[in-house]
Structure 1
């Protein structure tokens, strides 16, 4: 699950549960005086930067999105990532994030903003850009701030709001010394005050419950950004944005932006048809786009792809022989198969030719994938078992499996609350400890789970026992689901839309002694396991025992330790399947079995994660610029509701402690940046120690873009600057001309403009 942010702030995150007592946590490494634990982002934005002078005036950018949004009001519960993207283009964002994911003032709206008083109450004075006006000509001012505060304060339940964090701390809003000044007084100190009023809606939207609840769902009559909403076309599944004629900042280079809803597994076809200019894509599609581009700079040959690419000369000769042989039935069948293969190859070639006008721009999303451990009940309610699971994981190997094949930095995420480059980031994983299988087994033993104990066989175990002994140790035993390694279309073993950020990797080589470290990929795939071996053959003298030999399943009270691993099954889930398989193998080495269940995407969160019907799960969280506010409800301790149920909001792991809550509360009220960041890091180290969720890797961000499209692509931690996006003038393009012209002639995204 991943939420895209509006400006520096992501969509709401939420609330958490029970764990054993507070643990002693070692000091964080790398946080000494003079050090900057935040460091640099693992990957910067890849947007083909260009000066505005080199960009044509005009043109239409056709941008793929996941949905036509159900609402244009980002503060409603059903707002989605497209709602956020539209708000970034058409509404005031007082602050944005830079390439490090840190908050910076947006001068188009703010001349300055600062805390001018802290006693007896915190007071923030905003000085607005004197040119800032709504699209109807009215000045942006205190009335708009006050209307948004009243709507989001939580005091009037007639407003159907999804969040009110921060607004509930405001005591009053008033006009400052003139119309350009807004004075906000807080009843309680609020460190994340820069998160407020982004986006800022006009008082016409926020002024009444009716206008808030219904008026801004399908239209925004008043806006104040470089673009405005022209229409929402539900039949064509697209939203059209046009230049705002009253925009006072740098004029938008593009005349129009069309946000077109295209399913992820259909985007490669749309790109090859020339109906898109910009689209986030999966790894398989990225491989296709990359293969269609110019020759590699290193002079190497691009890998063979497409239908029939994996056929050897011997295969081709055999096919010809059968097609021209004396067996008429076999010949007819082979001729038909060859004809189908030729048609597929011709279609593939046409698509590749069309894709030559695009390139892949890649970075890392402002979100990370985690392993969630449900601590509500069952074996994982015991903190020792959760910690054993965490200590069994080789997070570096998991990050490499997903990111290394994409050419992205393959480093595991070290914080639950921030990403590398953000001000609050520090690697707090030392509070849990490094991967260590021996220590993991010791934790299990301390919790009463011991290897080789008596196990009551269920029906599933009896069926396995009746099978061939030669299947022992296969992927089917550990429930990993065994990701497929082959395809039927010759496209490197994956299908279009099937993989959102990884290639299928080989199995572990299984060699080496039990040193507590998981074997790494050798890059040669499963075949290496069986090469030169025969059933029952003796290993040469001195060969270490197989890694699995001492890893008998652990049991307690006659029951083996088996964890239900729930995964989504829809398009784009191959990455999670691969990662889950690797995790299952790592857990098997310490005696923990996994039972992988694949469920429909639509029911994954509602019926399994949110309801607590899982032991292990993989999903993603955003990392925002305001962790004290946005991350608190994800990790705070759940509280009983009035009806006796447990209110967990978005703490799907149900793991939380009073100490973590106290640290968040202190951070939210601490105005000094250094002190607040120290509190955030302490909270993160204790979240690590509780082992309710284990951050694995930052999500890959792969974007196909026309090669003549500038200032757009994989934005990474940076907020998009919509007015700077556009198509390069021909004089600013490379010597090969405009690759964008390979799209459909005269297409809106061709980059042609009246001014070029």
Structure 2
């Protein structure tokens, strides 16, 4: 659970398909001699915010919040395929017009600084009417209006391939964006119903910055051209690898309590020591080593939560793995319980197995759908490989003169425990006649040159913040031409695609959950991904930091974050 873990944030904070939060493979660290069972002493909060909630009158005016950053932010546009890195998505929620925030139960609430109201005003066709706060304006002085909604829709609906999109979900269902009864009203009409409409236009970006493909793709590289949130990007020093936010002088809402937020890019191994040296105010405490050093550290408070955060092993769709039987065989050859135990070794909270691709265990609608598809049984795995034509010759299986050799791609920034997990996978597959090479690649290229390009047979990363549920659709939907959305293995079926689309178009939450679960059963059968566990959040924060820490499904209200009086 190291801060450097390869992560993909899926859109709680934006229309980001995949950062999706983002440099290694599993979610753990090497044990430091702590007995495995004795370490399970921390129970994360479920459905609650462990962030030291304080009223504003008990928070000082001013002060600085110092945070570590996993990697340098190059692309700031969260709708662009390269702008989906998790920390960037989170920060953009502070810089631009975040129309909705999710509460601790994952329910969207309109942000009053932007919306007087937002509601479905017709169901046939579905029409959503937004009434805007008349004070809401961009930093260039233009009032926020329907043109901005229209520009986001036109850039994101997938009709113009020149816009290099992260995800078109929701926007491709819209048929019109118009001014309503007044300039302060926006009317969005859907050609097909879309249940998660509150996730759209969130954050809203200014039309002035995204109206052409060039502006959309290149206008947000290394800069933010126009602001609409409580903070602005005051400085981005690429040499020093630091980013500084300051309050937006044109902000019309409650004045932020902090007068500076500073981010510094650092290696994961340095973050714990940076916290102990009073250089940062926030650090992951999710490994045995980090927790041991931070739990009793001066001025440290440990906060825990159960967020939307999962760790999995994905299968590629090329070569031998183009055969579903081979992928199913791998699912039966992996001892999931043992892999989770490796990841969990020495960490003070128990990792719970995750039996859904779409729901977290603490999410309404969760069902355990894994069935027998990942039930450890090497004999069944061998039988499936036999049926696929990969014959056992006493070592590595072969077919048509070719050996069954696969590649597990992992970041060179991985921890020892992550390497241990990969080695365990290698050993398990060897038992059924599959030769697995572990290929370490540069951490900075892990996503851009390998995962995003589908250049892997097996790989492991995290998906985070993937709600509402429609945000998981890009991972499993059918690619369109060269656009794979978030489905890097390119594995899909018309049935899965149809079920996901129906679910996303179903306004009744119970009916939608049933459709998502039907799709999940088929995703397990497809052999797309082996889910491992839901990753708890354990963090150390500086004592006195209020309204910030470890939530479950809630967004941070950045204007309320500060230091207690």
Kept in 2, the 8 Å contact 1:388–1:439? The answer is yes
Report the 3-state secondary structure (helix = DSSP H, G, I; strand = E; otherwise coil) of the residue aligned with 2:498.
helix
Deviation per CA, 1:498-540, whole angstroms, max 9, x where unpaired? xxxxxxxxxxxxxxxxxxxxxxxxxxxxxxxxxxxxxxxxxxx
Report the 3-state secondary structure (helix = DSSP H, G, I; strand = E; otherwise coil) of the residue aligned with 2:205.
coil
Q: 1:148 to 1:567 in 2, by over 3 A?
A: closer
Distance 2:12 2:317 in 1: 34
Distance 1:190 1:167 in 2: 9
Kept in 1, the 8 Å contact 2:148–2:207? The answer is yes
Report the 3-state secondary structure (helix = DSSP H, G, I; strand = E; otherwise coil) of the residue aligned with 1:430.
coil
- How far is 1:284 from its partner? 5.8
Q: Aligned pair 1:57/2:84, yes or no? A: no
Deviation per CA, 1:106-162, whole angstroms, max 9, x where unpaired? 33322322222233x321111223443444665432232223333334455665554
Q: Report 1:586-605 matches (<5 A).
A: 586-590=428-432, 592-605=434-447
Match of 1:235?
239
Match of 1:367?
309
Distance 1:561 1:364 in 2: 43
Q: Aligned pair 1:356/2:298, yes or no? A: yes
Of residues 706, 713, 724 in structure 1, which corresponds to 2:542? 706
- How far is 1:397 from its partner? 3.5
Q: 1:432 to 1:568 in 2, by over 3 A?
A: closer
Of residues 301, 310, 325 in structure 2, which corresponds to 1:384? 325
- How far is 1:667 from its partner? 2.3
Match of 1:657?
493
- How far is 1:418 from its partner? 2.5
Report the 3-state secondary structure (helix = DSSP H, G, I; strand = E; otherwise coil) of the residue aligned with 1:685.
helix
Match of 1:625?
467
Distance 2:159 2:478 in 1: 24
* Structure whose alpha-carbon radius of gyration is higher: 1
Kept in 1, the 8 Å contact 2:339–2:424? The answer is yes
Q: 1:700 to 1:404 in 2, by over 3 A?
A: farther
Report the 3-state secondary structure (helix = DSSP H, G, I; strand = E; otherwise coil) of the residue aligned with 2:312.
strand
Q: Report 1:67-216 matches (<5 A).
A: 67-79=71-83, 80-119=85-124, 121-135=125-139, 138-155=142-159, 159=163, 161-208=165-212, 211-216=215-220
Deviation per CA, 1:387-423, whole angstroms, max 9, x where unpaired? 2321233323433432363222421112112322334
- How far is 1:44 from its partner? 5.0
Match of 1:17?
none
Q: 1:647 to 1:256 in 2, by over 3 A?
A: closer
Q: 1:608 to 1:72 in 2, by over 3 A?
A: closer
Q: 1:204 to 1:615 in 2, by over 3 A?
A: closer
Match of 2:343?
402
Distance 2:445 2:253 in 1: 44
Q: 1:285 to 1:581 in 2, by over 3 A?
A: same
Q: 1:594 to 1:62 in 2, by over 3 A?
A: same
Distance 1:213 1:651 in 2: 21
Match of 2:17?
12
- How far is 1:371 from its partner? 1.6
Kept in 2, the 8 Å contact 1:61–1:256? The answer is yes
Q: 1:98 to 1:145 in 2, by over 3 A?
A: same
Identify the structure with the greater strand proportion: 2
- How far is 1:286 from its partner? 1.6
Give the alignment's TM-score, normalised by structure 1: 0.64
Distance 2:399 2:95 in 1: 61
Distance 1:420 1:244 in 2: 38
Distance 1:268 1:433 in 2: 36
Distance 1:139 1:365 in 2: 35
Report the 3-state secondary structure (helix = DSSP H, G, I; strand = E; otherwise coil) of the residue aligned with 2:384.
helix
Q: 1:65 to 1:184 in 2, by over 3 A?
A: same
Kept in 2, the 8 Å contact 1:431–1:688? The answer is no
Q: 1:61 to 1:285 in 2, by over 3 A?
A: farther
Match of 1:413?
354
Q: 1:726 to 1:217 in 2, by over 3 A?
A: same
- How far is 1:581 from its partner? 2.6
Report the 3-state secondary structure (helix = DSSP H, G, I; strand = E; otherwise coil) of the residue aligned with 1:619.
strand
Kept in 1, the 8 Å contact 2:50–2:549? The answer is yes
Deviation per CA, 1:45-99, whole angstroms, max 9, x where unpaired? 4323333332222111111112342133222233233331221112222222222
- How far is 1:199 from its partner? 0.6
Deviation per CA, 1:355-404, whole angstroms, max 9, x where unpaired? 523344344553322122234322x3443332232123332343343236
Deviation per CA, 1:582-631, whole angstroms, max 9, x where unpaired? 33344455554533333333444455445555432222333511443x33
C-alpha RMSD over aligned residues? 3.3
Q: Report 1:732-751 matches (<5 A).
A: none
Q: Report 1:541-560 matches (<5 A).
A: 555=397
Q: Report 1:478-627 matches (<5 A).
A: 555=397, 562-590=404-432, 592-605=434-447, 608-622=450-464, 624-627=466-469
Report the 3-state secondary structure (helix = DSSP H, G, I; strand = E; otherwise coil) of the residue aligned with 1:621.
strand
Kept in 2, the 8 Å contact 1:413–1:695? The answer is yes
Kept in 2, the 8 Å contact 1:3–1:11? The answer is no
Distance 2:400 2:153 in 1: 58
Distance 1:631 1:6 in 2: 9
Kept in 2, the 8 Å contact 1:172–1:186? The answer is yes
Q: 1:669 to 1:127 in 2, by over 3 A?
A: same
Distance 2:107 2:423 in 1: 35
Report the 3-state secondary structure (helix = DSSP H, G, I; strand = E; otherwise coil) of the residue aligned with 2:8.
coil
Kept in 1, the 8 Å contact 2:13–2:89? The answer is no
Give the alignment's TM-score, normalised by structure 2: 0.83
Distance 1:386 1:197 in 2: 37
Q: 1:358 to 1:572 in 2, by over 3 A?
A: farther
Q: Aligned pair 1:679/2:520, yes or no? A: no
- Number of aligned residue pairs: 535
Kept in 1, the 8 Å contact 2:410–2:459? The answer is no
- How far is 1:238 from its partner? 2.0
- How far is 1:688 from its partner? 0.4
